[in-house]
Amino acid sequence: MRVFIYSFLVLAGMAFTTCKKNQLGGKSHISGTVMHHSRYLPFARVFIKFNATEFPGKDTTVYDAKVWADDKGNYAITCYQGNYYLYGFVYDDQFLKNVSGGMPVKIRNNESLSLDVAVTE
Protein backbone atom coordinates (compact mmCIF):
# COMPACT_ATOMS: atom_id res chain seq x y z
CA MET A 1 0.00 0.00 0.00
CA ARG A 2 2.87 2.39 0.78
CA VAL A 3 4.32 1.87 -2.67
CA PHE A 4 0.97 2.79 -4.24
CA ILE A 5 0.63 5.98 -2.17
CA TYR A 6 4.25 6.98 -2.83
CA SER A 7 3.83 6.38 -6.57
CA PHE A 8 0.62 8.40 -6.63
CA LEU A 9 2.25 11.34 -4.84
CA VAL A 10 5.23 11.34 -7.20
CA LEU A 11 3.00 11.26 -10.28
CA ALA A 12 0.73 13.97 -8.89
CA GLY A 13 3.74 16.18 -8.15
CA MET A 14 5.07 15.71 -11.66
CA ALA A 15 1.69 16.61 -13.14
CA PHE A 16 1.60 19.90 -11.26
CA THR A 17 5.15 20.89 -12.23
CA THR A 18 5.07 19.93 -15.91
CA CYS A 19 1.77 21.52 -16.92
CA LYS A 20 2.54 25.15 -16.27
CA LYS A 21 0.41 27.65 -18.13
CA ASN A 22 0.03 31.40 -18.27
CA GLN A 23 3.29 32.56 -16.74
CA LEU A 24 6.73 33.71 -17.75
CA GLY A 25 9.54 31.23 -18.26
CA GLY A 26 8.92 28.10 -20.32
CA LYS A 27 9.87 27.22 -23.86
CA SER A 28 7.49 29.43 -25.87
CA HIS A 29 8.51 32.81 -27.26
CA ILE A 30 6.62 35.92 -28.29
CA SER A 31 8.57 38.72 -29.93
CA GLY A 32 7.95 41.67 -32.19
CA THR A 33 8.10 45.42 -32.49
CA VAL A 34 5.99 48.18 -30.96
CA MET A 35 4.81 50.27 -33.93
CA HIS A 36 2.91 53.54 -34.44
CA HIS A 37 2.04 54.55 -38.03
CA SER A 38 4.64 52.12 -39.44
CA ARG A 39 7.36 53.61 -37.23
CA TYR A 40 8.98 51.63 -34.44
CA LEU A 41 8.93 53.19 -30.99
CA PRO A 42 12.02 52.71 -28.83
CA PHE A 43 11.83 51.91 -25.14
CA ALA A 44 8.11 51.13 -25.11
CA ARG A 45 6.71 49.09 -22.26
CA VAL A 46 4.77 45.94 -23.07
CA PHE A 47 2.51 44.87 -20.21
CA ILE A 48 1.45 41.22 -19.98
CA LYS A 49 -1.79 39.92 -18.47
CA PHE A 50 -1.80 36.16 -17.82
CA ASN A 51 -4.83 34.03 -18.69
CA ALA A 52 -6.58 36.85 -20.53
CA THR A 53 -8.39 36.89 -23.87
CA GLU A 54 -9.89 40.38 -23.62
CA PHE A 55 -8.48 43.85 -22.96
CA PRO A 56 -8.02 44.19 -19.18
CA GLY A 57 -8.01 47.99 -19.39
CA LYS A 58 -5.51 50.84 -19.36
CA ASP A 59 -4.69 50.53 -15.66
CA THR A 60 -1.23 48.96 -15.87
CA THR A 61 -1.31 47.88 -12.22
CA VAL A 62 -3.70 45.03 -13.13
CA TYR A 63 -1.12 43.44 -15.43
CA ASP A 64 1.04 40.59 -14.17
CA ALA A 65 4.38 41.49 -15.78
CA LYS A 66 6.07 43.89 -18.17
CA VAL A 67 9.02 43.98 -20.52
CA TRP A 68 10.80 46.94 -22.08
CA ALA A 69 11.35 47.26 -25.81
CA ASP A 70 14.89 48.03 -26.89
CA ASP A 71 16.11 51.13 -28.76
CA LYS A 72 14.56 49.79 -31.99
CA GLY A 73 11.17 48.99 -30.46
CA ASN A 74 11.80 45.22 -30.27
CA TYR A 75 10.40 43.25 -27.34
CA ALA A 76 10.71 39.58 -26.40
CA ILE A 77 8.84 37.39 -23.93
CA THR A 78 9.60 33.82 -22.90
CA CYS A 79 6.51 32.11 -21.52
CA TYR A 80 4.59 28.90 -21.03
CA GLN A 81 1.64 27.93 -23.21
CA GLY A 82 -1.55 29.81 -22.53
CA ASN A 83 -3.57 32.94 -23.15
CA TYR A 84 -2.02 36.36 -22.69
CA TYR A 85 -2.98 39.95 -23.39
CA LEU A 86 -0.15 42.24 -24.51
CA TYR A 87 -0.57 45.98 -24.00
CA GLY A 88 1.99 48.41 -25.38
CA PHE A 89 2.38 51.90 -23.94
CA VAL A 90 4.88 54.64 -24.87
CA TYR A 91 5.24 58.37 -25.44
CA ASP A 92 5.60 59.15 -29.15
CA ASP A 93 7.89 62.19 -29.41
CA GLN A 94 6.96 62.76 -33.05
CA PHE A 95 3.24 63.16 -32.26
CA LEU A 96 3.84 64.48 -28.71
CA LYS A 97 1.29 62.06 -27.28
CA ASN A 98 1.07 58.89 -25.25
CA VAL A 99 0.09 56.01 -27.51
CA SER A 100 -1.12 52.57 -26.54
CA GLY A 101 -2.69 49.43 -27.91
CA GLY A 102 -2.75 45.72 -27.48
CA MET A 103 -3.90 42.30 -28.52
CA PRO A 104 -4.76 38.87 -27.16
CA VAL A 105 -2.28 36.08 -27.81
CA LYS A 106 -2.74 32.34 -27.56
CA ILE A 107 0.49 30.38 -27.66
CA ARG A 108 1.19 26.66 -27.57
CA ASN A 109 4.05 24.83 -25.91
CA ASN A 110 7.38 25.26 -27.74
CA GLU A 111 5.86 27.77 -30.17
CA SER A 112 7.51 31.00 -31.33
CA LEU A 113 5.32 33.89 -32.48
CA SER A 114 6.35 37.16 -34.08
CA LEU A 115 3.70 39.78 -33.34
CA ASP A 116 3.99 43.53 -33.72
CA VAL A 117 2.07 45.55 -31.14
CA ALA A 118 0.27 48.38 -32.92
CA VAL A 119 -0.30 51.45 -30.77
CA THR A 120 -2.41 54.51 -31.52
CA GLU A 121 -3.52 57.81 -29.98
How many domains does one find in the chain? 1
Asked if residue 7 is part of any domain, the answer here is no
pLDDT confidence of residue 1: 55
* Helical residues (DSSP H) of 38-78, grouped into ranges: none
Report CA torsion sign: 65, 69, 73, 77.
negative
- 3 state SS of 114: strand
> Residue 52, CB half-sphere, CA atoms under 13 Å: how many?
20
pLDDT confidence of residue 21: 83
- Residue 80 · residue 23 · CB < 8 Å: yes
Asked if residue 17 is part of any domain, the answer here is no
pLDDT tens series, the chain, 121 aa = 555 455 444 444 544 445 678 889 999 999 999 999 999 999 999 999 999 999 999 999 999 999 999 999 999 999 999 999 999 999 999 999 999 999 999 999 999 999 999 999 9
Range of the domain at 112: 22-118
What's the first-to-final CA gap in the chain, in angstroms? 65
Asked if residue 49 is part of any domain, the answer here is yes
CATH of the domain at 65: 2.60.40.10
pLDDT confidence of residue 14: 47
Asked if residue 41 is part of any domain, the answer here is yes
pLDDT confidence of residue 109: 95
Asked if residue 86 is part of any domain, the answer here is yes
Reference 89, options 114, 56, 112, 111; nearest CA is 56
Asked if residue 2 is part of any domain, the answer here is no
